[in-house]
Every structure is written in C-alpha cells, then in structure tokens.
Structure 1
C-alpha cells in the first residue's frame, strides 16, 4: 500500500519503539494527561447535563411547556383555545388556569403563587396528582375551598392537612373600617412535593372556580399546554394564539425560567472550559516529549535532508508521531469517560458503603442520586478539543525539526 515517505518514516519510528518495548516516560505522560483530561471532561459534562435534565424534568412536572394568556384582562375564549389545542397533533394536553399572587397566613405568614385549576384537565399538563404526599387531588371540588400546598410552603406556614389557611389577595375592597384586603379562608386538603424548591415553597393549588369566585373573575388567566416535543413549545403556543380572536401573550418554559436555564448553561460552559485545561496540560507535555525527540533525532533529520526530504516532509514526520500520541490519548480518554459515566452511580454507592457515609443526603439535596446524561454533542466537542490541542502541540517541535541544518547536525557525528 502506498504511503507518503514522511508518513511512513513517522510510523516506522513508532513501530520501532514498540518493537523495542520502549516508550519514553514523557510520551507516556502525554498520553495519560490527554486521556485523563478527556475522561474527566466527558464525565463532568455528562453529570452537568444530567443535573440540567433532572432539574428541568422536575420543574416541568408542574410548569407548563407553553402558556397562552390574555394581556391585562381575563381570557374569555379559553374553551375555544382548548378546542384548537385538542386538534393540534403536537399538543399532548391543555388546561385553563387562574393565577394570582397572595399572602398565605396560618400560624406564620408566607407569600406564594395561588393557582386555580380544573383537576380533570390539569392532569393532562402536570403531575400534581402523582406528587401528593398526603391528601387527595379529588378534594379540590368546586365550592369546597380546599387548598393544596407545597411541602416547604406548608412547613413555613406551620400547617398540616385539615388546618385552615387564610388567603389574602393584593386587592382592596371598601368596608366601614376603610379599605381592607380581600381574603378567603381555605382548608389544607393535601401537601405535595415537586422536588423543586421554588415550587415546593412558592405554589398553592385550589379549584379554578373557587379562585374565580374570590377574584370575581369571569374568565381565566390563560391556557397551559403540554407538548410532545418541548423544544417546539413557543412555536406551538404562537400558532394557537394566532387562531384566537384578539391579542394574547405567548411564553414557554425557557422564557419563564430564563435565569435558571441560562445559569445552568453558563455553569456547564465554564466547567467545560476549566476542565479543558487538563487536556492542555497533556498537550504541553506532548510538546516537551516532541522537542526531546527532535533533539535526539538530529542526525537522522540531517541524513533525511541530504537524501532529499524537504523541510515540509521533515515537519510531517514529527507531526505524524505527535498526532498519533494525541489520538491514542483521546481514544483511551473516550473509553475511560464512557465507562466511568456508565458506572458512576455504582462507584458512588461503593464509596458510600465502604466509608459508611452519604454523599448526597436526602435532607439536604432534592436529588439524592447522581444523574448523568451523556450527549453526543458534548462527547464530540471534547474529542475535537483534544485532537486540535494535540495537533497544535506538534507544530512547534515539527517546525523546529524542519529548521535543522544538515551540515551543523553532522559536524560532530
């Protein structure tokens, strides 16, 4: 099989090393450094993606994928909106809702978002019925004035199932004593746990008709949508709004949780950049090993030059060796990263059993396991970074080899 002379010579050097069972310590350190960097980066990106997915999934258990709401006034065409949504194959479920901020008062006070829902329809867009720790979702019947509280919210209020809670709204009504805030007494009929602090501490759920009566509202705040593909949330909600009379506000889960979404994305990006420095350290070690190899092969370079090998050919000889070291380190890192990621939970469990400790206690963290989500894009980006760094690390030693003068190199041979 035909191969260019520089490539054949570079591979010949490497084969000779293996046949002599000799690999320099610095070259080995380069391979280990690159492999370690790739392994750590792949595993860390998988863990970061796993936490992002876990937080997103827990958030979307209660938050809608998309929302269509009226601008500054109640939405009265919500039945039509539900009909349009039911005919859209991209929509998995739709439900109306009424939402307002309120101050909840029990033994203690705590502000929260009060959401009025229709239980039968709400089950198509959220999992509140599956997250109840006590009580039943069926307790939200029209006229019962029952209320479901998040676990942290109930703890802050100091109430349990069966206790009364006073819901004070940010609206005032006239009375003989002057302007008084509007309020209504509800009974705690259930406590849920979403596994997301903002929801567990800041959300209370009542029946939609009860909240409409308290607010004296003849419509709803909007319609919440659950989609088969959450990445199309904004487009689907916009299409729905365009089929309704009037003007409506359209938002999706990314807009509603923009700060959280962008902070998680920024953390992942910064972590990836910082851990790439491990690969860079391996690349610097590769530079050192190649420089030492060039010095050791001065006589060989001079002979090759006298035989007619061009400076570019000499440069290619050493780039082949350095690039192959980078490829070996990258492949070993890929195997190590994938293996470590797949077995990370087992390793965590083994460490906890061995030292009799709990690394992620349930009373401190909502996520007690170590979720991983190895994405093809992250793995591909890691491999590209490692290979590019390896190739760049060979440029200076190879260029230095190409500058070797045959007469100077052979003077003392």
Structure 2
C-alpha cells in the first residue's frame, strides 16, 4: 500500500523547481509525446473503422446480402425460386430478380466498358438503395420495351451525356447479318443518373429494365438470378448455408462476406498493422519517461540519501519515482484520449476543411473507392489504447525507480 508520504513526494517531484527546469521540460515533452501518440492511435483506428463501415454500406447499398444464381447463368423460373427463398430463409427483407452482364457503352467517339444490371424497378428498391441516390430522373422511369438506361454519374460525365441523350450499348454476343458477324447492340435513352459515392459503381455500372436485358441477352423470360436483402447483414453466411441445402440443385448461392472478402480482410490487416506501428510511437514516448526519471534520480541523490537516513525504506523510495513516472503517463493518456475522441467525432468536418484550405482532394474516389471519410469511435479501441499506454508508462518507471532504491546514503552524501 502507498503511504501518504510516498504519494506526496512523488507528486512534489513533478512540479518544477528553480534547479531542475530541464528535467521538468523533459517531463512535459514525455507527457506531450504520450498524448500525441494516443491521439494519433485513437484517430487512426476511428478512421479505419469508419472507412470499413462506409465501404461496407456503399457496397451493400448496391450489391446484395445473398445472391442465388443459375449454374449456367440463367434461371428460367425465377419467381418460383424467389418464393422458395422466402419460405426457407428467415429474416429476408426483400427479394428481387436481376439480369447481369458486361457491355460497352458508346456516345459519339467516347467509349467505356461497363457492367450491366437488368432490374425490375418496383422490386429493386427492396434490395438496394440506388433509388435514394438518384441525381437525375428516377429508377421508375425504366419501362419494358422503352429501352431506357440509368447511368452512374461518373460514367455519364466521362461519356458527356445527360438526361434524354442516347447511348449505344454493345454486348459481347455476335449477330449474323448479310454483312457478316457483328456485335449485338441497342440504342438506349438516358432516363436517370445515380451517384452512390463509390467509384466502382458510379463509374462502371448501368441499369436497364430486366425485360430489355433479357431480350438483349436472349434469356426469354428468365433471369440471371435473384438477390436477397436481409434484416441483419451479418446473418448472410447462415442464410446462405441454409439455402444451400434446401433449394433445388443447379443453383449457386453466395453472400457478401465471400464476394467482397478481400476488401474487408485487407482493411482488417491494415488496421492491425497501423495499431502495431502507432503503438511503437507510444513506446518511444514511454522511453522518454525512462530518461527523465534517470536524470531526476541523479539530481535527487542527496534528497534520497537524506530520506534513507531518516528511515525511508528502499521500497518506499522506489514507490516515489514509480508514482511520478506513472503520473506523467496518466496525464498524457487522459489528454490524448480527450483530444483523440474529440478529433474522431469531428473528422467528417475537419477533412473537408483541410481539402478547402489546401485546394486538393485528399480522398480521390478512383483510388480509395469512396469520396467521403467519417470516423467511427469504438469504446473497446479507446480502452485498449488507454490500457496499453498506462502499462508501458508503468513499466518505463521500474528501472529508474530501482536505481533510486539502490542509492547508498553514505556515498551520496560524501561530497555534500
């Protein structure tokens, strides 16, 4: 147990005296280093959490939680499969058919490859959020036989087209004509544009009516598959496994955790690596406590000797310097946690401000997939960082405190 004397002396040594301004300066540097390291670690972890959540939301706003598709690329009776899915799986919030493929869009001399998704507008809103991200027109404007098309905003800008303009859509299936074999194509009218904030979709996806897509790909009344949206996205692996054994053979079932696993594994790995690297900054700041306490022990050898002659035990002397070093760690951690939490909660406002001041785009959508950044603070991250910092601060006090406890009064007072 710590006595009031040990606590009093430990706290007293943290205050500046006329003789040891340099030591007090080193103490302030150590405290500031710990605060800065904690601030950076909490902020980076918050940004990584926000990036992961934002990426997942953007992906799942366009992709499905679970996808059931035909092994040969076509499901002839998709409505029956949709009914079976609703019966066999619990927690299904929506089911919608789709036709998928690849093609080439052309407007004048501009061309671009694209992913094609044929949808039923009235069903699509149950499984995706594209209708809430329309910047022009609407998804409901897609009508069978009218050959309307909805483009991503970045793709529309690249092609230089707007509402009611026409684009030529070519698909990698040939048509035999008297002039020879030519790619199959159809002219579409732009009836809408969307911007979900994820470059992969805004630049590389178009939507057309499912009937038009089926006619273009010669699927008849079939579809490529059905897409499911669940009440709990993290329940997708369980639902996928359940459907695998209950739906008719010849169907392929996948979920978002498998389709986009590489993205989220990469983010998790990067978060772990950043935690380790920034933890080393905390360790460096803790080493400053070691150097500060070693200099303080050297400076206070006379005081230590006098305390020992008055009956203070080596254990109590050690406790005095452990208290002083730990106090620096505690204050630095508290300051760092406060500033880190404050910065993490306001990162959405700070990043745009920096971009305006520097007149640059810190988050290029074609590089980082998303164009906006938000912080997502997790209590467990704050607790882990705080515990790590306090433990390193405490460990850094042990060697200097042990040296102080070994000071021999006679040797220290010989030249006093």
TM-score by length of 1: 0.84
Match of 2:164 among 162, 165, 177: 162
1:357-404 deviations in whole A, cap 9, x for unaligned? Answer: 656599989977652211223222321331232123223323433444
Aligned residue for 1:237? 240
Question: 111, 121, 124: which is aligned to 1:122?
Answer: 124
* Equivalent runs, 1:340-351 vs 2, <5 Å: 340-345=343-348
For the Cα contact (< 8 Å) 2:13–2:324, is it kept in 1?
A: no
Which residue matches 1:16? 12
Show the 5 A alignment for 1:56-205.
56-76=56-76, 78-87=78-87, 88-107=89-108, 108-205=110-207
Q: 1:141 to 1:347 in 2, by over 3 A?
A: closer
Q: TM-score, normalised by structure 2?
A: 0.84
Structure 1 residues 363 and 259 mapped into 2: Cα distance closer, same or farther (>3 Å)?
closer
In structure 2, which of residues 374, 379, 382 is the aligned counterpart of residue 376 of structure 1?
379
Give the direction of change, closer, same or farther, for the CA distance of 1:237–1:308 in structure 2 (3 Å limit).
same
The verdict on how the C-alpha distance between 1:41 and 1:19 changes in structure 2, with shifts beyond 3 A counting, is closer
Deviation string 1:255-307 (CA, Å, 9 cap, x unpaired) is 33344334444444444444434423321211111112222343555567775
**1:190-229 equivalence runs, <5 A:** 190-218=192-220, 219-229=222-232
For each residue in 1:45-91, what CA deviation from the matched residue of structure 2 results, as whole angstroms up to 9, or x when unmatched? 22333233333322322122232223234234533442344454422
5+ long unaligned stretches in structure 1: none
Identify the range of structure 1 (159-168 vs 342-351) with the bigger mean alpha-carbon deviation. Answer: 342-351
Q: Deviations over 1:233-253 (max 9, x none)?
A: 222223233321114433333
Please name the residue that 2:341 is paired with: 338
Offset of residue 145 of structure 1: 2.0
SS in 1 for 2:62: coil
The count of residues paired between Structure 1 and Structure 2 equals: 406
Distance 1:257 1:292, change over 3 A: same
1:250 matched to 2:250? The reply is no
Deviates more, 1:273-282 or 1:221-230: 273-282
Q: CA RMSD in A?
A: 3.3
Output aligned runs, 1:270-349, within 5 Å: 270-299=273-302, 301=304, 307=311, 309=313, 315-345=318-348
Give, in angstroms, the shift of residue 349 of structure 1. 7.1
Give the distance between the partners of 2:349 and 2:62, measured in 1 at CA. Answer: 31
Q: Contact conserved, 2:117 with 2:208, CA < 8 A, in 1? A: yes
SS of match in other structure, 1:61? helix
1:38 alignment partner in structure 2? 38
Q: Deviations over 1:131-185 (max 9, x none)?
A: 2222222221222222111122223334333333332222234444444333333
Change (3 A) 1:213 1:150: same
Distance of aligned partners of 1:194 and 1:170 in 2 relative to their CA distance in 1, 3 Å threshold:
same
Q: Which moved more, 1:45-54 or 1:343-352?
A: 343-352
**Counterpart contact for 1:78–1:96, Cα < 8 Å:** yes
Alignment partners' CA distance in 1, 2:200 and 2:215: 27
Distance 2:14 2:135 in 1: 64
- The answer to whether 1:386 aligns with 2:389 is yes
Contact 2:71 2:250 in 1 (8 A): yes
SS in structure 1 opposite 2:227?
strand
Q: Once the 2 structures are TM-superposed, how far is the Cα of residue 4 of structure 1 from its aligned partner?
A: 4.5
Aligned ranges 1:351-362 → 2 under 5 Å: 360=361
